Amino acid sequence: MENRFPDVDWFCDRCDSHLNNQVGFDDNKYIWQCTECNHKNSISSTNIYESKVDFDIRD
């Protein structure tokens, strides 16, 4: 199955781990539990930011 977001790097909202590198990561799942801190991250287009700065200033 192809990635929904092929050019997106996903990072954990809690610990900032790179989710794409975690074993079994699949962006076709709508929730991904970080293997580093167990935080459940939403994997959706509404959570794609152009930069870390944009992420930090989100409402």
Per-residue pLDDT of the chain (59 residues; tens, 9 = 90+): 788 999 999 999 999 999 999 999 999 999 999 999 999 999 999 999 888 787 777 65
The structure's pTM equals: 0.84
**pLDDT for the residue numbered 59:** 56
**pLDDT for the residue numbered 49:** 86
**pLDDT for the residue numbered 15:** 96
Give the Cα-Cα-Cα angle 43, 58, 19 (nearest 5 degrees): 30
Secondary structure of the chain in HEC code, one letter for each residue: CCCCCCCCCCECCCCCCEHHHCCCCCCCCCEEECCCCCCEEECCHHHCCCCHHHHHCCC
**pLDDT for the residue numbered 55:** 75
